[in-house]
Amino acid sequence: MVRDKIIIVEDDEITSLNLNISLQKQGYSIVGVCDNAEVAKSKIATTNPDLLIIDISLDESNDGIELAKYIKENYSLPFIYLTSYSDNDIIEQAKLTEPYGYIVKPFDPGSLHATIQMALFKFEQEHKREDTVKTLQLDKENLENLLYAKRIAETATVPFGGEYHLDINLHETFYKDKKIRLTKKENAFLRLLVSQLGSVISFEQAREYVWSENGATENSVRTLVWRLRNKLPTEIIKNASGIGYYIEE
């Protein structure tokens, strides 16, 4: 079993020792125990930790907050603050660094473990969402490249469906050179179909490309297609039963 690697940044020797013992008992790997921000920076660079626990008030100053700012600027790492009730005057500053949790001293081992696990889970989920967004952005970039390759030479015009054409610069669709008034989502879906003429666009692909918000379903796609078909002069959008839609090449 891979153990999560943690760096402790705490200048109180007793608290640091208690944290170290407690975390090791809970199965964590302690790859650094630091009493100041500079040592912590060096440890981050050499140990590649999964999480840091940082005392907000190192040396009775705001060095913990400054260390957190440094981490956010230079690394993609979650961190948790150690704090006490006397830290209320700087807690607002700490919030701005967007920590993944707070541990109040004296800490409870069970609460400590739960806070760490929630922080690691939240960090993982955030990165999954970021990866999804990056993938979607890449897909959109590929789609634009596909449309560009289909255009009539030296123009922004992509012909399709007989007498239709798509202006890839204006994001507008025309039939016999007359613009068809479409909504943003209708235009996006049509661009998706035109970019891959002859290939089926699945319900999932449509949802990912057309809807930026959550909650879109297959029925959302079906409703969009129904409205789009009513606006197009001819029946060019074909069904691939139970899978999705396509326009013949």
Angle of helix 184-195 versus helix 109-150 axis, rounded to 10: 70
Lowest mean per-residue pLDDT among 24-38, 127-141, 198-212: 127-141
Please indicate, yes or no, whether the overall pTM of this predicted structure exceeds 0.75: no
Cis? peptide before 106, omega within 30° of 0: yes
- Sheet hosting strand 157-160, strand order edge to edge: 157-160, 164-167, 172-175, 178-180
pLDDT in the model for residue 32:
94
pLDDT band at 134; cut points 50, 70, 90 = low
Q: What whole-number distance in Å separates Cα of residue 227 and Cα of residue 222?
A: 9
Phi/psi-derived region of residue 87, left when phi > 0, alpha when psi is between -120 and 50, beta in every other case: alpha
> Would you state the CATH architecture of domain 151-247?
Orthogonal Bundle (1.10)
**Could you tell me the residue ranges of all domains in the chain?**
5-130, 151-247
Residue 61 has pLDDT above 70, yes or no: no
According to CATH, the superfamily of the domain at 5-130 is Response regulator (3.40.50.2300)
